């Protein structure tokens, strides 16, 4: 008997074995009923049997082996994709999902081989069946991973949102204690609370921006007519107050006026300058150069110090990424490795570009911004 006919005839025993195996996938399956354990297994079997009955050229077989199976026009989701989404929402992990397909493959081939005796199972059917199961597994894993990623981003968003209220209470209380002028010890403790609260606020802001970008929403900006020289000078003044022992220079040439989100560009500069302060030579200045031409303004942040390795430089704007020499510094520096990623997203939101260069003499981050943001002027 051909395998497609066997699957159609013995569908119930196959589904019973699927259900029995799924019930062992604890703790997610502990309280699931039969319908939940069998979720979309029948539709997956029907898709496999249909695939076995469909004629296939060698070219089509090769395309399928490379994961380029044509998508059904009327199907927004395959049974394997829907199954993966429901398994993710039910608390299964990706190893358990893959194990279901491994068990299905083994049980179908074993039952069919027993039914074929004393004849030998058709080799082409075995190959086609394995192809179909591999395709279903690939669809499931892709959808499962996407669902987990979305759940994680939503959790990060809720966490960042819900932490803002208690943090604001801490900051307000610290400011109140500082204003009481109740002695040096109280004022010093209040100042430490304010600084720690500011660092926590910066982490939450980065987390919120990261979450928006991963959800496909991008960095939110409000462009308006601003003088970039004034905006960046104000930010550098604040950074000098926090880092009084570092020399921060600003040089402006050309026209600095344009349509941008001033606060976001201050955030951009802060991330780039803090990166230079952390990893540049301590005894040398951090130089910020602003150069304007007819259509664009360029911002360069330069520092001396050890060169960034080429491999690190290639992924320096990726989120949650730091060079190998900085991997152990999380507790001391108190950052999430999101600063340069957020900076690149701010530039992207302004339709600009950013690049990094580094050698033995200098490391520089260069930002190019169009003078007028398209959305802001209605283009």
- Between 124 and 210, the more confident residue is 124
Q: Has residue 251 got a pLDDT over 50? A: yes
Tell me what pLDDT residue 31 has.
Answer: 86
Q: Which of 61-75, 109-123, 196-210 has the highest mean pLDDT?
A: 109-123
Peptide linkage before 182 cis (omega within 30 of 0): no
Identify the residue whose tokens are 């911002």: 299
360 three-state secondary structure:
coil
Best mean pLDDT range from 12-26, 143-157, 168-182: 12-26
Contact in structure between 21 and 103 (CB atoms under 8 Å): yes
Q: 72-76, 169-173, 270-274: which has the minimum mean pLDDT?
A: 72-76
Q: Kindly give the pairing relationship between strand 286-292 and strand 248-253.
A: parallel
pLDDT value for 289: 96
* Per-range mean pLDDT, top range of 81-90, 208-217, 319-328, 334-343: 81-90
| pLDDT (mean) for 40-54 | 91
Strand, helix or coil for residue 350:
coil
Q: What residues does 301 pair with on adjacent strands?
A: 288, 365
Which residues lie across from 226 on neighbouring strands? Answer: 258
Confidence of residue 146 (pLDDT cuts 50, 70, 90): confident
CA–CA separation, 379 and 372 (whole Å): 10
At residue 260's C-alpha, the angle toward residues 257 and 261, to 5°, is: 130
- By three-state DSSP, how is residue 66 classified? coil
Q: Can you give the pTM of this predicted structure?
A: 0.52
Mean pLDDT rounded to a whole number for the chain = 82
Task: List, in sequence order, the alpha helices (H) in 319-379.
Answer: 330-333, 339-349
Q: Give the residue, 182 or 136, on which the prediction is more confident.
A: 136
Average pLDDT over residues 339-367: 92
pLDDT at 306 over 70: yes
15-44 average pLDDT score: 92
pLDDT above 80: residue 297: yes
SS3 assignment, position 291: strand
Q: What is the pLDDT of residue 304?
A: 93
> Residue 216: left if φ>0, alpha if ψ -120 to 50, beta else—which one?
left
Report yes or no: 259 and 376 within 8 Å, Cβ to Cβ.
yes
Give dist(CA 288, CA 155) in Å, integer. Answer: 37
Rounded percentage of the chain residues whose pLDDT exceeds 70: 77
Whether cis (ω within 30° of 0) applies to the bond prior to 264 is no
- 258, pLDDT greater than 90: yes
State residue 328's pLDDT score: 37
Q: Are the C-beta atoms of residues 316 and 187 closer than 8 Å to each other?
A: no
**Cβ neighbourhood burial of 379 (10 Å; 0-12, 13-18, 19+):** exposed
Task: For residues 135-157, give the mean pLDDT.
Answer: 80
Q: Whose CA is closest to 96, among 42, 154, 37, 152?
A: 37
pLDDT in tens, 194-232: 666 666 766 677 666 766 666 566 677 889 999 999 999
Helix (H, G, I), strand (E, B) or coil at 335: coil
pLDDT interval class at 329 (50, 70, 90): very low
């Amino acid at each position: 008997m051909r395998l497609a006919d066997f699957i159609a005839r013995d569908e119930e025993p196959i589904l019973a074995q699927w259900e029995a195996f799924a019930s062992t996938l604890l703790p997610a399956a502990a309280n699931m009923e039969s319908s939940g354990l069998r979720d979309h297994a029948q539709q997956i079997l029907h898709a496999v049997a249909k695939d076995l009955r469909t004629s296939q050229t060698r070219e089509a077989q090769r395309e399928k082996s490379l994961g380029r199976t044509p998508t059904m026009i009327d199907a927004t989701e395959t049974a394997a994709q829907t199954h993966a989404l429901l398994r993710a929402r039910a608390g299964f992990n990706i190893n358990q999902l893959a194990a279901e397909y491994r068990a299905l493959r083994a049980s179908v081939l074993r039952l069919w081989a027993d039914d074929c005796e004393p004849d030998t199972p058709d080799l082409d059917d075995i190959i086609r069946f394995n192809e179909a199961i591999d395709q279903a597994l690939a669809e499931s894993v892709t959808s499962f991973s996407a669902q987990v990623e979305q759940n994680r981003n939503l959790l990060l968003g809720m966490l960042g949102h819900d932490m803002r209220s208690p943090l604001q209470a801490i900051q307000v209380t610290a400011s109140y204690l500082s204003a009481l002028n109740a002695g040096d010890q109280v004022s010093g403790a209040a100042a430490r609370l304010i600084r720690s609260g500011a660092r926590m606020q910066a982490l939450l802001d980065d987390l919120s921006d990261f979450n928006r970008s991963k959800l496909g929403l991008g960095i939110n900006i409000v462009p308006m007519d601003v003088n970039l020289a004034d905006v960046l000078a104000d930010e550098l003044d604040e950074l000098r107050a926090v880092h009084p022992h570092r020399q921060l220079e600003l040089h402006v040439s050309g026209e600095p006026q344009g349509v941008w989100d001033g606060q976001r560009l201050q955030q951009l500069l802060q991330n780039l300058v803090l990166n230079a302060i952390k990893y540049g030579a301590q005894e040398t200045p951090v130089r910020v150069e602003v150069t304007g031409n007819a259509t664009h303004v360029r911002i360069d942040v330069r520092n001396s110090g050890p060169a960034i390795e080429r491999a690190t430089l290639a992924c320096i704007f990726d989120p949650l990424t730091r060079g190998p020499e900085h991997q152990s510094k999380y507790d001391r520096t108190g950052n999430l490795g999101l600063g340069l990623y957020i900076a690149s997203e701010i530039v992207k939101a302004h339709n600009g570009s950013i690049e990094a260069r580094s050698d033995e003499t200098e490391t520089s981050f260069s930002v190019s911004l169009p003078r007028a943001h398209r959305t802001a002027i209605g283009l």
